[in-house]
Structure 1
Amino acid sequence: MENTQKALTKKACIAIAISTLLASLPVAFFVSWSIWFLTAVSSWILTCVLLRLSFSSFLQALDALQIGLLNFKDGDFSNQLAYQSKDSFGDLCHLYNETAKQLRNEKQWLYQREMMLDKMLQSAPQALLLMDEKGIIVFANPSAQQLIGSATALEGRSLSSLSKGIPKEIFDAMEHASDGLVTVTMPVGEEQMWHSTVGKLLLNNQPHNLFIFKQLTRELNRQEVAVWKKVIRVISHELNNSLGPISSMLHSGKIIAKKLDEARLNRVFSTIDERIEHLCEFIQGYGTFAKLPAPHIKPIMIAPLLDALQMQWPCSVSCDIEVISADKGQLEQLLINLLKNAHESGTDTDAIALSIYSINEGIKITISDRGPGMSEAVLTNALLPFYSTKSSGTGLGLALCREITDAHNGQISIRNRARGGLSVELILPN
């Protein structure tokens, strides 16, 4: 800036010297006073023009700098200064341009991070609600909207206005801002376990509460099933170790009994053989549950699968989709188990219905019958391994259905129908 001022001062001095020289010429040559006056005016005009030319680029650069700083104030860093002179003011303009470029890059980086964070919050499985000190919801992700059961956005609504749609247990946890486990009774009678976490933070210098609700039901079910699988593997291993020698000794005993021609001994060995065969089938069934492989999910044409099912287990079918993403073998086993249960309920074949249609959450599969249904106690335990109300049941049918559904990141629910019968609903992501 000092060099610029010196250059401008030098130009101004030259202009003044020229004007002074032109003004003194009339005196030197003794011309008339009028000519001298015209010459002085011309000199003054020339001086003004020279000064204007000297300061014009400098003034334009100052105006651009002022506009750029105003843009900085408004958060706009796209303005660049074109002043490129090799002086102090040129260095200042270069520094301004570099600063604008850095701020522009940082703003873009922050915007991308903000978009990534918003995407993570919107797709998070946990229900997130941010509420100010007046009880007004500032932010709620889709999981929170689904938990509360609202078809519209929650932002701007008060906690008291949600008291009708939100589960009572969740409402109480939010009202008292309490941490811990929350048992929620769903409309279909199913109990779900949630974990409530409350955090306090400042936003725009105002206190806010951040509520995080995480569903633990599926995780607890997976842990429970993992324990059952471990128990089954241990029992199967020990039984197989014992059944091997018993089968070998039984075979030798049958040979000896055949030589002795003792009918009673043959009946004893035949009965033992039947029970061993039944026990092997029993162990094999539990082994299938304990060693269920991870699903190989790929697109499946649904029509051929339904045709094959109807040949074995007749039912009425309604379907509005053509392709479903799942493990074909496991999905087929799942549907066979449910249709088999429906047929064993004692209902008429015409009353058994299988429907498959698309919903917002994915694909919904419903299998319903008009049998006697289930009591509340049976509904509560129906999906647990080893639980069965049938005299010859293994208690693995519905447990295997839940295991397959969970492996596909889906949901399964069982409920009694209004006019009698049972309905099993599956929701699989698509």
Structure 2
Amino acid sequence: MWRWLTSLRMRLTILLVVAGVAGALIYAGVSRWPVPQVLHWLRTQEAFSTHASSAGVYGGVLISLVVLLPLALWLAGVVMAPVSRLLRALEGAVASYRDGDFSFSIAASRRDELGQLIRMHNALGQTLREQRQHLVQRELLLDTVVQNTPVALVLTDAIGRVAYANIASRHLFNNGRSLQGMDFSQLLAAGPDALRQAVESGEDALLSVEMDGGEETFHLSQRAFRLQGRPHRLQLFRRMTRELSRQEVATWKRVIRVISHELNNSLAPISSLAHSGAELARRGDVARLPGVFATIGERANHLHGFIAGYASFAKLPAPRLAPVEWPPFLDALALHCRFRLLAEAPERPGIFDAVQIEQVLINLIKNAHEAGGDEDEVSLSITQAGRDLRIEVADRGPGMSETVLAQALLPFYSTKRAGTGLGLALAREITEAHGGRVLLANREGGGLRVTLLLPQATPR
């Protein structure tokens, strides 16, 4: 109840009532008493008779205005004074917020709507101060992490000047000195050409450069974005030498394990059969010798094919890009494997190394037949996807688990008991040599889809 009585609306109501009562009193005074009596008395005086009679009504109006105007001004001042003070305080608060200072607050002990507005404003200021403090702490944490990361980070503005650089980038490009405001292209011009060319290409890249008397491998990642409405570019230079060395050692260990396993699987039977053949010859049991020699030959041929496969993977030549007409290419592919063409091939010739891509498709279609699904569901589709040529081989086998999908393209990885782990790895090697990529995905309803994306560049 007290809050309602002290509300701004109630105060304005009381002031309007006072103004109405004052107006009624003035009206009664001018029309009833005492103004008519005073005017009548003035008319009875001879000196003022003419003047008073001519100013009777107008004089009353004038007297009313003289009384009402000060009263109206006083009432307006009483009503608008707290509003004016609040507006001036809010104006100062807005100017303070604009300058980034959120410590401004308004002191007031009012219990009406203006007081509630002031308390809400002060609560807003407190919230902004806390958020500003948390933001400063997060920025400090982020800057600490970025400054101490081993990845060299360089942020450049629209004209190529360095807007931000961490400690690793300072050591990489300027011997530990600040890069702020420097022209990044000039810094690159003073460094290795391979690094400069990779940055100018605007694409992500893995490159090796000569630095400090040795070879360093970097992974370059570049992104363009707008910061505060202005274009910026972020370059990340990550040293990969140690990581690649560890991966290389791990790969060699895996190769040695695979080769040792395959050699043991072939040499052990050959050694045993040779001993058995010698024993049969000593006994004079020559009838069984052809079978022994045939088994030895089969194992030797398997071992020869295994070694030849590794040799071909290691000696893969650079692709020779040339226009390839689709009808003769598909006819030649059909002589080696069976597949169902989903749609007509594009009319425009493809641009790739026909021999290498044919070998890739033979391996993929062979894998699709060995997947265990319906052989009639092994399909091949060729479409043009923008600037890329999209070649898909699909089957209706069991597909692959997430773990197998993540490792299927790695060399020497195979889930087959007699597999070499080179089929998909060779497909990836040939496709990436063309500047493309390989995608593996399970199909809805079962099966696997292997997609080759080949960029259709003009052959040299």
The TM-score, its normalising length taken from structure 2, stands at: 0.43
The TM-score, its normalising length taken from structure 1, stands at: 0.46
Question: Which structure has the larger Rg?
Answer: 2
